[in-house]
Amino acid sequence: MSELRETFLDELADLYDAEQQITKALPKMEAAAESEELKEAFTSHMEETENQVGRLKQVFELFEKEPKAKKCKAMKGLIEEADELIKEEAGDAALICAAQKVEHYEIASYGSLLSWARLMGEDEAADLLEETLDEERATDERLTEIAESTINVEEAEEEEEEEK
Ligand SMILES: [Fe+2]
């Protein structure tokens, strides 16, 4: 087995575990979110994430491997931080920040996997990875929009209240 193939499968196993951790974390984030828009974003990303796990399984199949999960310590840490924020009732701005850290981790991983798959001539796998990468990027952008619109409005209103 070429070294890149090994590196690819190792990273794939990491991401397979990371996505599963995210499917467990998203309902908690949804429950903690205050704004309807943010709740909706978490719910729709939850559904997407389930499909993403399915796509990773397909990629394993294309490489004639059984799906394998390798504990993703980075995702565990990111989710632990999100859990702390939920406990502290840190608010939507903090939740969005935590969620975007998760998205950026995924974007980095999918980006690498995608370019390695292309290098190895595994275009079918690359296409699947690209589909997910596009979803992660769209989620990230949506979170930015929510942060810029809803949150700012809420914060401004709160400040106004305090001034009164
Ligand atoms: Fe994902």
Contact by Cβ (8 Å): 87, 160: no
Ligand 1 center from residue 11 Cα (angstroms): 14
Question: Per-residue pLDDT tens for 87-132?
Answer: 999 999 999 999 999 999 999 999 999 999 999 999 999 999 999 9
Residues 65-86 have a mean pLDDT of: 97
pLDDT of residue 154: 67
Q: Is the pTM of this model over 0.85?
A: yes
Q: How far is ligand 1, taken at its centre, from the CA of residue 85, in Å?
A: 21
Would you report the helix, strand and coil content of the chain in percent, each value rounded to 5?
85, 0, 15
**Domain coverage including residue 131:** 3-163
- Tell which wins on pLDDT, 162 or 31: 31
Give the Å distance between the CA of 52 and the centre of ligand 1: 6
Which among 126, 125, 147, 14 has a CA at the least distance from the CA of 72? 14
CATH code where residue 133 lies? 1.20.1260.10
The predicted structure's pLDDT at residue 3: 94
Cα-to-centroid distance, 158 and ligand 1 (Å): 33
HSE-up of residue 87 (Cα within 13 Å, Cβ side): 6
**Is 80 exceeded by the pLDDT of residue 156?**
no
User: What does the pLDDT average to over 32-47?
Assistant: 96
Separation of CA 134 and ligand 1 centre (Å): 10
Residue type, 66: E
Q: Give the mean pLDDT of the chain.
A: 94
Between the CA of 121 and the centroid of ligand 1 the distance, in Å, is 24
Share of the chain above pLDDT 70, in %: 96
Q: From ligand 1's centre to the CA of 29, what distance in Å?
A: 15
Give the confidence band of 157 by pLDDT, cuts at 50, 70, 90.
Answer: confident
For residue 1, name the pLDDT band (cuts at 50, 70, 90).
low
Compute the distance from residue 157 Cα to the ligand 1 centre, in Å.
33
Q: Residue 48 in contact with residue 139, Cβ under 8 Å?
A: yes
- Residue 60: predicted pLDDT: 98
Ligand 1 centroid to residue 105 C-alpha, Å: 9
What residues have a C-beta under 5 A from ligand 1, the ion?
Answer: 49, 52, 106
Q: What domain count does the chain have?
A: 1
Nearest C-alpha neighbor of 31 from the set 83, 79, 76, 77: 83
Distance 47 CA to ligand 1 centre (A): 10
